[in-house]
Structure 1
Amino acid sequence: MKVVIAGAGAVGRSIAQELLRGGHEVMLVERRIDHIDQAAVPAAVWVHGDACELELLEEAGLQDYEVVIAATGDDKANLVFSLLAKTEFGIRRVVARVNDPRNEWLFDASWGVDVAVSTPRLLASLAEEAVSVGDLVRLMTLRQGQANLVEITLPVDTPLAGRAVRTLTLPRDAALVTILRGGRVIVPQPDDPLEGEDELLFVTSVEAEEELRTALGVNGFRTTAS
């Protein structure tokens, strides 16, 4: 996979290193000369310039890449880069970093964003998830805001204990993707029994969240969305 990352600060470089370790091709675009550190990510292609400038992106050959990541520390720059990537270059997958949770509502399809990652919201959600038992916790927004990754930790005395996964009556647009049990990551099979204190991860549409909450007998719903 060929990926372009706008923003080569600590976040952008870390993402690039992970992708390169996975065998992907990476280009880093950075306008600040003090952030250009080719020695830190020598396997990446480095471009010095403003990722919001159409001419620069054309010269860099953005059209030849499959995925772009807007990872700068400026939400305005991330939005403009995302929009250019989607509308001018037809990039299939646009992932954007949200620095200020108050701006999260902007990061949707109208700005070319497929997936928005709000670090403050994600960290808050993970902290909340660690102590929220019996509540549905939204961890991440996916697919241009049309779906979410949500989590529920079953109470110790859950009435679902001992029931097979196949017996759950889930909404049409919700899927159980993982069960976290102790130190194990379980890919759920139809006959797997549920246990108290299981952490269940679902991908669900926004519209199906309330139905999912009811189906699981969840007490409440928690989100850190602004």
Structure 2
Amino acid sequence: MRVAIAGAGAVGRSIARELLRGGHQVMLLERQLDHIDPDAIPDAVWVHADACELSLLEEAGLQTYEVVIAATGDDKANVVHSLLAKTEFGVRRVVARVNDPRNEWLFDASWGVDVAVSTPRLLASLVEEAVSVGDLVRLMTLRQGQANLVELTLPADTALAGKPVRVLRLPRDTALVTILRGGRVIVPTPEDPFEGEDELLFVTSQEAEEDLRGALAEHGLKT
């Protein structure tokens, strides 16, 4: 897969290294000349360009990339780059970094963003996930805000222990995708039993999330 990353700071470089290790082709776009260091990541294509300049993006061949990641430290630059990538270059998938949570409302489909990643919000969700037992925690928003990845850790003394997955009547547009149990990742079948301290990962639409809370509450989970 060909991935273009706007911003070659610490975040952009870290993403580039991970993608290269996965066998992907990576281009790093950076407007500050002193941040360009091909020796740091020799397998990446380095381009000195402003991510918001249409002509420079054309010269870089942005239209040949399948995924764009707007990873600069400037939210305004990230939304403008996302919009250009989607509308001018037809990039299939645009992922944008949100630096200031107050700007999250900007990062949606109207600005060309398919997935917005807010580091402060993600860290807060992970903290909640680590300490919350019996509470439904939203980990991530997927598909331009149309669905959420949510997690619930069952209490050790849960009433669901020993009962099969099928007893949990999930609302429409909701799926239990994984049960994490110790070091195991379980793709659940209807007959698999729950156990205390299971971590349940659901994908649910925005509209169905409240109904999911109600379905879990029927089994004594406060959510």
Task: Report the AA paired with residue 192 of structure 2.
Answer: D
Residue in 1 that maps onto 2:104: 104
Per the TM alignment, residue 34 of structure 1 is displaced from its structure 2 partner at its CA by 2.1
Residue in 2 that maps onto 1:176: 176
3-state SS of the aligned residue for 1:216? helix
3-state SS of the aligned residue for 2:51? coil
Task: Report the AA paired with residue 121 of structure 1.
Answer: R
- The CA distance in 2 between the partners of 1:45 and 1:190, in whole Å, is 48
Deviates more, 1:106-115 or 1:32-41: 32-41
CA displacement, residues 105-153 of structure 1 (integer Å, 9 cap, x when unaligned): 1110010000001011001110111111111111111111111111111
Q: How does 1:52-201 map to 2 (within 5 A)?
A: 52-201=52-201
Task: Report the AA paired with residue 68 of structure 2.
Answer: V
Task: Report the AA paired with residue 61 of structure 1.
Answer: G
Residue in 2 that maps onto 1:223: none
RMSD value over aligned CA atoms? 1.0
- The CA distance in 2 between the partners of 1:2 and 1:123, in whole Å, is 28
Task: Report the AA paired with residue 79 of structure 1.
Answer: V
Task: Report the AA paired with residue 78 of structure 1.
Answer: N
Unaligned segments of structure 1, at least 5 residues: 221-226
TM-score of the pair, normalised by structure 1: 0.94
- The CA distance in 1 between the partners of 2:152 and 2:140, in whole Å, is 13
3-state SS of the aligned residue for 2:177? strand
- The CA distance in 1 between the partners of 2:188 and 2:15, in whole Å, is 29
CA displacement, residues 141-171 of structure 1 (integer Å, 9 cap, x when unaligned): 1111111111111111212111222332111
Residue in 2 that maps onto 1:219: 222
Q: How does 1:30-69 map to 2 (within 5 A)?
A: 30-69=30-69
Contact 2:63 2:91 survives alignment (8 Å) = yes
CA displacement, residues 38-62 of structure 1 (integer Å, 9 cap, x when unaligned): 1121111110110111001111111
TM-score of the pair, normalised by structure 2: 0.96
- Answer yes or no: is 1:25 the counterpart of 2:2: no
Task: Report the AA paired with residue 18 of structure 1.
Answer: E
- The CA distance in 1 between the partners of 2:6 and 2:163, in whole Å, is 47
- The CA distance in 2 between the partners of 1:165 and 1:38, in whole Å, is 51
Per the TM alignment, residue 81 of structure 1 is displaced from its structure 2 partner at its CA by 0.3
Contact 2:49 2:57 survives alignment (8 Å) = no
Unaligned segments of structure 2, at least 5 residues: none
